[in-house]
Structure 1
């Protein structure tokens, strides 16, 4: 299984990253340590991440809360009882409704087992999730980082992290994804924690963008 970070190691890793990258050290010195963002390994969490695709975090949370109001406990079986109209009333687009239902069916059929994923490598998890409709690399990255707390993920498709990295390092807006991935290599094997520092900077400064896809 790929390396994880924990509450016990998180701040030590932040300090290690600060020693090798003065830009990350500046974030800590200016804004303090980032929160240790984490989410439980549940269907609800994956629905939340799908809802966060290409919209603001506030919009996604509003839709999630509407769904939870409607079904009380957000489980695959209960979700599948909702009609298209009820999903729309919960701020779910037609496309995201399709994605969420597909995920619910995959869990109910046993195609995906969330507990089993906890014991698999990043590559194995990515291979299993990427075939699900509506689950792309950004969604998988967030799942690996927030839910399974895998230590070495750089979500190159996350606009908040990418824009924060460009600002922190004074990079031109035209810097490519490939160039950013190459620059992020210095943070291995803790690229997840480095990204959390970038998100912390992003959330602590006025410039905001939509999240990734």
Structure 2
């Protein structure tokens, strides 16, 4: 059975994590529950996540909105019909133009089946997606968390989550990725919700 978060279980899981972790409890006490971030299981959602790679969320949304203006409905066929110049006019970089085209072709050729992902194990979804150029573990982590609502993902490559983790728990700046992953084990089987609490903390507090 897949381990997923739902609207009806989200706050209960937040409480369970707060009972086990005083730092997460302090975030909920001070700032309230985090949003349960979610997106539909569509080509557009995966394009959006690709656009968010290594840029601000606002910048990525600006590019996505330009593409929406151009296509109205963002589909694999519609993207492939646009020229490189048309995508550039939507603020796509050369790299992200290529990545989104690879994804569109994979969906049209049925090498990637987004609907099938809904019943596949996390590791199987990851294996299929990272086989595509331009999709790495961070992109898959966000897709699993936001789109498929999988409950036990810790995105170790997400700077906001990592920085919030370090600041909230007073961890040394030089702590390794492996050490952070090991520390996040305390939140199993609900590391996704713990990460959402970290993001909530990050977005609610001024950066130093």
SS in 2 for 1:96: helix
Measure, in 1, the Cα distance between the counterparts of 2:9 and 2:178: 29
Q: CA RMSD in A?
A: 0.8
Report what 1:14 is aligned to: 14
Report what 1:177 is aligned to: 177
SS in 1 for 2:166: helix
Measure, in 2, the Cα distance between the counterparts of 1:139 and 1:190: 19
Deviations 1:126-185 (Å, cap 9, x if unpaired)?
111110010000000000000000000000000000000000000111011001001000
| Post-superposition offset of 1:2 | 2.8
Measure, in 1, the Cα distance between the counterparts of 2:85 and 2:207: 35
Measure, in 2, the Cα distance between the counterparts of 1:65 and 1:190: 32
SS in 1 for 2:168: helix
Q: Work out whether 1:79 is the aligned partner of 2:79.
A: yes
Unpaired stretches in structure 2, ≥5 consecutive residues: none
Measure, in 1, the Cα distance between the counterparts of 2:35 and 2:128: 29
Report what 2:31 is aligned to: 31
1:184-199 residue pairs with structure 2 within 5 A? Answer: 184-199=184-199
Where does structure 1 differ by over 2 angstroms across 4 or more consecutive aligned residues?
none
TM-score, with normalisation over the residues of structure 1? Answer: 0.96
Measure, in 2, the Cα distance between the counterparts of 1:79 and 1:85: 12
SS in 2 for 1:80: helix
| Post-superposition offset of 1:95 | 0.2
1:62-73 residue pairs with structure 2 within 5 A? Answer: 62-73=62-73
Report what 1:58 is aligned to: 58
Measure, in 2, the Cα distance between the counterparts of 1:87 and 1:99: 12
Report what 1:104 is aligned to: 104
Measure, in 1, the Cα distance between the counterparts of 2:132 and 2:64: 20
SS in 2 for 1:14: helix
Deviations 1:59-98 (Å, cap 9, x if unpaired)?
0000000001001110000011111111111111000000
SS in 1 for 2:81: coil
